[in-house]
Amino acid sequence: MVDLKKLCVFLVEAKKSTYAAGDAAHKYAAHKIVEADTSTTLSYEVGDWKYNDNYFGGEPYGGREVVFFKDAPVYMMVYYGHVDKSVDDVGAIYKILQNALALIPEDKPFRGPSIYKQDLFVYSNTFEGQVDNFFGEEIISSPDGKKIYRAKYFGGLVNVRHE
């Protein structure tokens, strides 16, 4: 079985080096590929570890992250989110999300921190479980308290028992 502490360390490094890094992702040796099916894949590799974040973006969006150790899949997370239709500047909300995701907790490397505030907007992330089996929801609320962004996610270890 994969070492969970090493998995967490790698997940934090990979996530901070890909989507959360924004335009600077290339500085972290991350790769971005637009696939034939119009999805985007962000990938990051260090030693025996490889991370792929494949998503269909736009609004709403959905995707999955997969971590490989020695070329075998060991972890995955699936996610789906959207910005409320009342929001005109969707890009500004996703910038807040990106900033929150850059603060990924090292002990719970799912999405962002429990609470993050930026320009009177509040990002909140509630979850249950550990890296081997978890689920959660993240929300961004406007200055007046309206929930203007929401995403749900779940994941954990894969391929633990072999038949």
133 inside domain: yes
User: In this structure, is residue 57 part of a structural domain?
Assistant: yes
- 54 is a domain residue: yes
Percent of the chain surpassing pLDDT 90: 83
pLDDT at position 58 is 83
Within a domain: 162: no
- Is residue 127, in this structure, part of any structural domain at all? yes
163 SS3 class: coil
pLDDT (0 to 100) of residue 73 = 96
| Enclosing domain of residue 101 | 4-157
Query: Domain for residue 15, yes or no?
Result: yes
Count how many domains the chain has.
1
Q: Looking at the predicted structure, is the pLDDT value of residue 27 above 70?
A: no
Mean predicted confidence (pLDDT) in 34-49: 94
E strand residue ranges, 14-132:
31-34, 40-46, 49-56, 61-69, 72-83, 115-118, 121-130
pLDDT(14) > 70? yes
Residue 97 lies in a domain: yes
Per residue in 128-156, pLDDT tens? Answer: 999 999 999 999 999 999 999 999 999 99
Residue 163 within a domain: no
User: Can you tell me whether residue 95 is helix, strand or coil?
Assistant: helix
